[in-house]
Structures are given as structure tokens and as C-alpha cells.
Chains A and B, each alone.
Chain A
Amino acid sequence: MTISIQDVEHVANLARLTFTDEEKEQFADTLSKILHYADQLQELDVADVEPTSHVLHITNVVRKDEARPWLSNEEALANAPEEEDGQFRVPAVMEG
């Protein structure tokens, strides 16, 4: 698989990253090499193999739906880059 500059731009946007033109070229090159290496997986016959997302035989772990003490509002906001009225403040989400 060869990754083009357009691929890099598309994936970078999905990942919320931006790159300079030089970086785009570097990423196109190294990602192509890594994916080319990964292409060896295509030679395996996995038609009847179940995927493993997780090695433990446990599913749907839930705790009782009860409130427990956790961080106070103040603690939760202590690392906030910007806060206002006990909430995280962010730049405008919508234009205008």
C-alpha cells in the first residue's frame, strides 16, 4: 500500500493533526513503508478465524448503578487550560 500526500491530509484531518508540506512528504514515505511491511498479513488465510480484541474471557463488566464519591468540581477543573463558572471554557464551536 502506498500512501499519497492526499491520504496523509485526509487522515491528518480525521486525527485532528496538521502538518507542513515537508512533514506530509515524510509521513507519506514512512507510513507507506510500514503499511508495506504490514501487507504480509494478506498472505494469511484468516477466513475462518475469529478476531481477538481482548484476551480475557470477560464481557460487559458493570458496577452497581450507585453514585460514588469522585473528584470535586474544583479538582476536576484544576488542570483546565481555561474555565468559567465551574465549567471548561473552549473557543467558539460555531461560526458567527
Chain B
Amino acid sequence: MSQIDASLRNIHTAIVSKEVKPSELVEDVLQRIESTEPDIHAFLQVAGEQARERAQHLDANIGDAAKLGILFGIPAALKDNMCTKGVRTTAGSKILGNYIPPYNAAVVDKLAQSGTVIVGKLNMDEFAMGSSNENSAFFPTRNPWNPEYVPGGSSGGSAAAVAAGEIPFALGSDTGGSIRQPAAFCGVVGLKPTYGLVSRFGLISYASSLDQIGPITRTVEDAAVVLQAIAGHDDRDSTSANVAIPVYLDVLTGNVKGLRVAVPKEYFGEGMDPAVSEKVREAIQQLEKLGATVDEVSLPHTKYAVAAYYLLAPAEASSNLARYDGVRYGVRVDSENLIDMYKQTRSQGFGTEVKRRIMLGTYALSSGYYDAYYLRAQKTRTLIKRDFEQVFETYDVILAPTAPTTAFKIGEKVNDPLTMYLNDICTIPVNLAGIPAISVPCGVVNGLPVGLQIIGKAFDEATVLRVAHAFEQNTDHVKRRSNMGKGE
């Protein structure tokens, strides 16, 4: 087994005890990427030279490892919607095919300060709009458990790269489930933090009131380590929360005795694959055996979440994506006059799903339809948020499936956007309410993994991580890896 297949803490121990050097880890990762990529297609870009240079610098300063913490010298990769200074950043879109950011996203600076070595940028649905990675303008990523299947989306490259053992951890972003759903589909851990916990500065915007960056890892402990490194206030993001950050590793006690768990009946109804529901039910029983008390509850507005989301997120996107006009960066399609240049650039630069959401959002915001669609969706958002608040008056966490099905086949839903949207039914309400949730593996159905979703109160990542860790440590699911992700 290579060191890169170990937990972040164990890799760290190996670095501190000088068993392995950061530069050796980078070589191992680059080699693994080279051998695995032809089957997975998770990376849009591998920045090998920059990673080698950085690792050599860390080799020479190995004395800092104990001081800088667990991530020192550990290779990682980022979803390609996080700006990396000097390294091409496309958001999975042709319109940004030539974009070299002049600055780093806040999370990139934070990881750099902790000594992480960024080795590349990961594939995604264009501008994070999609649930399968098939909307990447470049190529679809494949699921390491079965290459005929999608890895989920929009952080599909991040989840697939971690699941395939290409990289110890990755960052993704989650607007309607884009960290948790691919984590579930690829059998890894994915955490969407509370809105505002992680700075969005330098994250290419999709829907600004919903977007949040978080870790995709092999274990819950690794997720806690990465969250610790990227969480915190940043005055360059006006929606960054100024809250005290606990030491997440300290809360991983394995103890859930007396924990009050709510199970919303709406997440086990129509549209749910019974085999998925069964695995999630088994997981809930497992936590009950560990001492949690479980009650069924109702989140009555759940069924309206997808409709509200697919008005609100496209509305915000239609405004955010107005900046891609061929003037300051990105691709320009030349034309004689300015308006025509905008139209040609945008029409040739954006893919179908992005255009669909821009159209939908522009319509929902347009004169005569604003009240009926956009404002009504915002009010529905309030009702969904209140549903959660009421349950959290009595309960510590909510347990649910992460997705209604396991991964679907590549091409299966690509021509039916509404069916694709409905795959986000279990994850979208959490974004609308702005609260944290994690997906952890809880079983395998027909050779494809199932995710258990643990939803918590705003800024209570500690409890979410504690429950996820207790579940993981008392079951064998974490040990089940895709054949590709078993390491050497």
C-alpha cells in the first residue's frame, strides 16, 4: 500500500517521522493519476510541475510539518470552479477555456498556508449546473465503481478522483447537493458546511445564496481535518459568517448515546428506490443500537423544494453569468457591434444546460412573472427553512438518504432535464435552509454505493461529524472501496 492511500493523520505521521517526503507523495499521486485517468477522466488539468516545485520546497522545510498541522505536504485537488493563480480555471465551460486567474480563491490560500500541495483541477458540470458530470464542456467523468455509470455531480470529478484513489482528498462545492450526491454515488464522504462557514471568495459563482465549498474525503476524520483548514471568516466575502470554530477532531468521540435523531417521512416516499431506503433504514437502526433515540417526523414542505430551487438558483445564475460577455476575460466571438458580440460569445460559449438555466432564471425574474415565480419561490424557501427549525427545536440531527437512487447510467437522463433535477430532491432542501449536511457510505446495492445523509443545525458541523464518525467507526461500509480505489 502506498502512503497516499492512508488516512490524512497517518500520512502526516509518516511525514513528521521522515518516513516519506512531500515530494515522494506527489510523485506517487502523479503516477496514480497517470495510470487511473484513462478510465476515470476526473482531471481537467494536472499541474504536475507546480506541485513538484511546491513539494520540494516543503521537503526543505520539513521542520514546519508539526507546526503547520496535518495537511502539511499532503497532495490534494480542487473542483475547477475555485480560482488558482496561474493555473487554468474553467468551471467546466468552454467560455472560460482560456482563463488563467490572477488570484487565488480564499480556500486555495488557506490550503496553501496549511502546507497542502495542489496537484490539479477536477472535472465538473459546467458552472456547477448538473447532477451527473455529463454537462462538462470537455468530457464526462466516470464512476470508479462502474465506468458505465455517472459519478454524480456537479463535483463528480472531485468524488471520482477520491474514490479512485487518485488523490487523498478534494474540495467540491454544493449548491443543491453537488458535494453530497457525487460523494454518495462514488462511496466517499462529502460535507456541505453551513452557508457562510467557508469563504466563497474566488469560487466561480453559480447561485450565490446557496453555493458553499466543502471537503470530499475517504473518511469522516479526514473531512474534519480538511474543514478545519478551510473554515473561518473572510472579509472578502460579504456573506462570510464570523463565528467561533470548534476543534473538529476533538468532537469525534464515537459516542452518540442520548442523541435525538429525527427521520423525516417525506424522504422515504414516492420516487425513492426501495433498495436505497432499506440501506438507509438499516443505518438508522445501527445508530439506534449505538444509543441514539429515533423518531419519525414531518418536513411538510419538502415536496416543494425542487420547484423552489429550480426558480431561485437559475434566477441567481442568470444574474451571475451576465459577466461572461467576452469583454474582460474568457473567450470572445468577434462581431461588428457590441450587442451582437455579447450574443455570439454567450451562445457559442455556454452549453445547453447553462443556457437553459439562464433562460429559466431570466424568465422568472422578468417583468410580469417576478411575483408569481421568483418571489413565491423565496417565500417557499422560508417555509422549508421553518420546517427544519421546528424539527431542530427537539432533535440534534436529521437522517435521510443522500439521493433517491444509486448512480444512473451515462446518457440515461441527459435528455430529460426535469427527471435529472428530481434526483436532487434529498439534498436541495438543505441548501435552501443553509444548514450543514454530510453524506457517508452506508451500503452497496447492485455494485453501486448508497449514501446516508446526516443533516444538522446551522453551524453545528461538530454534531454532524460526530454522528457520521460514530456510524462509520461502528460499521464496515468505509472499508468497501471501488476496485479502482483499493490502492496498490
Contact = CB atoms under 8 A, between A and B. Distances in A.
Contact of B337 (A54, A71, A95): A95
A91 B337 contact: yes
Contact of B100 (A51, A53, A78): A78
B261 interface: no
Q: Which range contains the number of A residues in contact with the other chain?
A: 35 or more
Interface in A71-96: 71, 75-76, 78-82, 88, 90-93, 95
Contacts of A67: none
Contact of A16 (B336, B346, B378): B346
A31 B417 CA distance: 10
A55 B434 contact: yes
Contacts of A71: 102-103
Nearest to B326: A81
B340 to A, nearest CB: 8
Interface in A1-36: 3, 7-8, 11-12, 14-19, 27, 30-31, 33-35
A80 to B, nearest CB: 6
B279 interface: no
A59 B303 CA distance: 30
Interface string B315-326: 000100010011
Q: Which range contains the number of B residues in contact with the other chain?
A: 35 or more
Contacts of A90: 327, 338, 341
Contacts of A54: 209, 239
A41 B381 contact: no
Interface string B395-439: 000000000000000000000011001000000000011100000
B347 A91 contact: no
Given A44-B380, A81-B326, A91-B335, A17 B304 contact: no
Interface stretch (B136-144, B166-174, B354-362, B461-469): B354-362
B327 A88 contact: yes
Contacts of B341: 90-91
A78 B344 CA distance: 22
A41 B99 contact: no
A80 B239 contact: no
Contact of B196 (A7, A56, A81, A88): A56
B339 interface: yes
Contacts of A61: 238-239
B343 A18 contact: yes
Contact of A30 (B376, B378, B417): B417
B379 A51 contact: yes
Given A46-B380, A52-B385, A31 B360 contact: yes
Contacts of A66: none
Nearest to B240: A61
B307 A12 contact: no
Contact of A92 (B241, B338, B360): B338
A41 B304 contact: yes
Given A38-B373, A53-B209, A54-B239, A46 B195 contact: no
Contacts of A16: 322, 325, 339, 342-343, 346
Interface string B93-125: 000001110110000000000000000000000
Given A19-B347, A81-B326, A34 B342 contact: no
B382 interface: yes
B376 A41 contact: yes
Interface string B360-381: 1011001000001101111111
Contacts of B103: 71
B379 A50 contact: yes
A81 B366 contact: no
Nearest to A33: B418
Interface of A: 3, 7-8, 11-12, 14-19, 27, 30-31, 33-35, 37-38, 40-42, 44, 46, 49-56, 58, 61, 63, 71, 75-76, 78-82, 88, 90-93, 95
Given A42-B372, A52-B385, A91-B341, 8 more contacts: A34-B417, A34-B421, A41-B311, A46-B376, A51-B378, A54-B239, A55-B209, A92-B338
What are the 8 closest A-B residue pairs judged by CB atoms, nearest first? Answer: A55-B434, A51-B378, A81-B332, A79-B329, A46-B379, A61-B238, A75-B102, A49-B379
9 contacts: A17-B343, A33-B418, A38-B373, A41-B307, A42-B376, A51-B381, A88-B327, A91-B340, A92-B338
Interface of B: 98-100, 102-103, 195-196, 209, 235, 238-239, 241, 301, 303-304, 306-308, 310-311, 318, 322, 325-332, 334-344, 346-347, 350, 355-356, 358-360, 362-363, 366, 372-373, 375-383, 385, 417-418, 421, 432-434, 458
